[in-house]
Amino acid sequence: MCKICKGDYDKDTTVLECSYCTNLTGIPDTLVNLIVLCCDGCTNLTGIPDTLVNLTELHCQECTSLTVIPDTLVNLTGLRCRGCTNLTTIPDTLANLTKLWCDKCTNLITIPDTLVNLTQLYCNRCTNLTVIPNTLVNLYWLECSYCISLTTIPDTLVNLTELDCDRCTHLTNIPDTLVNLFELCCDGCTSLTSVPGTLVKLDRLNCRKCTSLDTIPTNLVGLKFLYCDGCSLLTSIPISLFDHLQKFECSECPYLPQCDPTTYQTRMKLYNQAAWIIQEKFWYPIWGKRKQIEEGFKLLHEID
């Protein structure tokens, strides 16, 4: 039994933890001084009182009977409602939210465009979500993987450094305005045809199984990790990328070895000389052979 079921609280309580109490069906509306409420996994909880106006943090993950977040909770800065499968909306009055976790809210259709202070948004597996608002210009972290109804990422999200849109199968492009991206995960985005060459700060690109992608841009000068396994239309990898790549995976890319057979095969041999090992199209460096690597790259620059 949790503190509410035991009656272990009073009107001055500011922090209340009652997670995973299956006996809990309601939160007392007299707890008006609550600042933090954690009721994760309370599967029989049907509502949050609209009198809890001082809440800044609400954790109600996996509260599967919860249908509404009160629009009076205007002081919330953090809302975790992952797995609230009967939740259909996020109130547009929660303008002070900076972090929102609404993963697996499968009936959620929209994110309010009034949440302009959001810096982190986690909406993975919101399968009915169709739009990310273009007003969320302060976002620096966006996870929207498996949002199969999502077709676009707004070009106004210029502060994004992390974007995870894995398995967004109807997503057709990544905006070229996202110039601050450090990590892009677009694994299984089967409608994605290109990666912008403007993403010069990109450190990690995971574009596995992007079956419509045929090229990797040449000017991703910061790229250190490239995963493009299963990109069945990919025909080339810019050789200049190997000046800074630390890890490269490209299995199940049937057209890649056939590209530019003279220079491509020659360069592959040079990478062997540079202590890169190729095993079933999986490449990784041997860090202990720095001298050979440097000599190999010298040869590469000569061939270019």
Residues 45 and 149 in one domain: no
CATH code of 16's domain: 3.80.10.10
Q: Is 191 left (phi over 0), alpha (psi -120 to 50) or beta?
A: alpha
Ranges in the chain, pLDDT < 50: 258-266, 268-270, 272-294, 296-297, 299-300, 302-304
Phi-psi region of 188 (alpha: psi -120 to 50; beta: other; left: phi over 0): left
**How many domains in the chain?**
3
What is the Cα gyration radius of the chain?
A: 24
So what's the pLDDT on residue 236?
Answer: 83
**Res 257: pLDDT:** 64
Q: Last residue of some domain: 116, 135, 154? A: 135
Q: Are 45 and 70 in a shared domain?
A: yes
Question: 111 and 213 share a domain?
Answer: no
* End position of a domain, from candidates 135, 163, 189: 135
Q: Are residues 95 and 224 in the same domain?
A: no
pLDDT at 95: 98
Clarify whether residues 202 and 273 are in a common domain: no
- With CA atoms as reference, report the closest residue to 52 among 21, 104, 9: 9
pLDDT at 249: 86
Q: Do 11 and 85 sit in the same domain of this protein?
A: yes
Q: Are residues 295 and 238 in the same domain?
A: no
Residue 260's pLDDT is 43
Measured between alpha carbons, how far is 175 from 17 in angstroms, rounded to an integer? 42
pLDDT of residue 56: 98
Q: Are residues 247 and 224 in the same domain?
A: yes
Q: What is the residue range of 285's domain? A: 260-304
Are 36 and 102 part of one and the same domain? yes
Same domain for 241 and 158? yes
The DSSP-derived string for 210-255 is -TT-----TT-TT--EEE-TT-TT-----GGGGGT-SEEE-TT-TT
**199 and 268 fall within a common domain:** no
